[in-house]
Amino acid sequence: MSETQQVFETETQDLEGRTLSNRELLRALLRKPQFVVCVLLVLTFFVMAAFPRIFTSVDPRFCELGKSQHGREPGHPFGFDIQGCDYFANVIYGARPSVLVSVVASVGGFVVAGILGLLAGYFPGAVDTVISRTADVLFALPGLIALIVILNSVPNRSIWIIVAVILLTWWPQGMRVMRSTVFSVRNREYVLAARSIGVPPWRILRKHVFPNAMAPLLAMTTLGVGGLVGLEAVLTFLGVGLQPPSISWGSQFGVAASYRDTPHLFLWPALFISTMTISFMIIGDSIRDALDPKLLR
C-alpha cells in the first residue's frame, strides 16, 4: 500500500497550488469515456452494497448441503459454495464490507489527514511537533503489520472498527502530503495579504490555504481508494478482519484457498473485487490527469 502511495505522491506533486474550479474539472472528466464507464461501475457496486436485494432475491444464508460446491445451474449463475449456499447471492452481499471500508476509510482519511496536515503545516511549533511525532511513531511499523497487531487485540471486530483502525494507520501518509503542500502555500502572497488585513486564522485556512493545498491529497486519496478495496479482503483472509458469519469477499477467498478444486469459488469474488479496484483506479487516474496543470494548458 505504501509503495503505491509513494508513487502517487510523486505523480501528484505538480498539483501543488492548483485551485480547483469544480465545473471545469467536471467537464474535463466527463469528456473521458473510461471515466464515465468506471463511475457507472462504481455506482453499481454502491447500490449493490446498499441494496443487495435489487440484484438477487435469493437469501445468501439459505443453504442445501447436498449442493455443496456444485457448478452453475438455472437460477444460480455462480453455482454453490461449500455449504451449498447460492454463490451469486453471497458474492453480491459480499460487496458491502469492501465498499464500506474503501469509501469510509478514504473519505475519513481525507478529512483526518487534511485537517491534521493543515494544522501541522500552518502552525509550526508545538502543534506541528505533536502531530508529526505521532505520525512518526505510527509510521515506524509497516502498515500491514501495524494493522494486524492492532486488529488482533480487538475482540468482536465490526466493520466500523476495521475502518477506524485503517484510518489510524493511514492518516500519517496523507498528513505528510498535506503538510508539505501547506508549507509551500502558507507564505504565498495571497495568504500574507489575508493575514495582513487581519483575517482570522481559521478563515485563512478554510478560504485560502485549504483550496490551494488540497489537490495533491485529493489525487492521492482518489488513487488510493482502489488499494483499500483489497485491504478488507486481505485482513479478513489473514483472520484479523471480519468474523463469520459476516459475508465478505475476503472470507470467500479464505474458503476458496482451502478448496482449490473448485476455482469458481475464487473466480467470482476475484472478478468483482478486481473490477471495482480497477474502476476506482481509473477514476483516480482521470482525476489526477484533470487536475494536472501541465495537461490542461
Partner 1 sequence: MTRFVLRRVLAAIPIGLIVTLGVFALVFAMPGDPLRELAGDKPIPAAVLAAKRAQFHLDDPFIVQYLLSMKDILTGHFGSTFAGADIADQLRLRIPVTLKLATLSLALQWIAGLLFGLYAGFRRNGVIDRMLLLSTLVVLAVPGLVLYFAGQYVFGVQLKWLPVSGVADGYPISYLLPAVCIAITGFAGMARLTRTSIVDTANADFVKTGRAKGLGEQRILWRHVLPNALLPVVTLMGIDFAGIFAGAVLAESIFNLPGLGQFMFQAIKLKEGGVVVLLSTLAFLMFILINLLVDIVYGAIDPRVRNV
Binding site for partner 1 (CB under 8 A): 1-4, 6-7, 10-11, 14, 133, 136-137, 140-145, 148-150, 152-153, 155, 226-227, 229-230, 233-234, 237-240, 250, 253, 256-257, 260, 263, 266, 270, 273-274, 277-278, 280-282, 285
Cβ proximity to partner 1, 189 vs 261, nearer residue: 261
Residue listed under C-alpha cell 480497477: 278
Q: Report the sign of the C-alpha dihedral through residues 111, 115, 117, 118, in that order.
A: positive
Q: Are 151 and 250 in contact (CB under 8 A)?
A: no
Q: How do the residues of the chain divide into helix, strand and coil, expressed in percent and rounded to 5?
A: 75, 0, 25
Q: Are 147 and 169 in contact (CB under 8 A)?
A: yes
Cβ proximity to partner 1, 176 vs 208, nearer residue: 176
Question: Any long-range contacts for 26-29 (C-beta under 8 Å, 24+ apart)?
Answer: 28/290, 28/296, 29/286, 29/287, 29/290
Cβ proximity to partner 1, 147 vs 205, nearer residue: 147
CB of residue 110 vs partner 1: minimum separation in angstroms? 20
Cβ proximity to partner 1, 20 vs 144, nearer residue: 144
CB of residue 194 vs partner 1: minimum separation in angstroms? 31
CB of residue 268 vs partner 1: minimum separation in angstroms? 11
CB of residue 44 vs partner 1: minimum separation in angstroms? 17
Residues 6+ apart with CB under 8 A from 33: none
CB of residue 219 vs partner 1: minimum separation in angstroms? 13
Q: What is the DSSP string of 20-81?
A: P-HHHHHHHHHT-HHHHHHHHHHHHHHHHHH-GGGT--S-TT-B-GGGTT---BTTBTT-B-
Q: Are 262 and 252 in contact (CB under 8 A)?
A: no
Q: Are 235 and 1 in contact (CB under 8 A)?
A: no
Cβ proximity to partner 1, 79 vs 205, nearer residue: 79
Residue 85 three-state SS = strand
Residue 86 three-state SS = strand
Cβ proximity to partner 1, 67 vs 128, nearer residue: 128
Cβ proximity to partner 1, 112 vs 144, nearer residue: 144
CB of residue 142 vs partner 1: minimum separation in angstroms? 4
CB of residue 277 vs partner 1: minimum separation in angstroms? 5
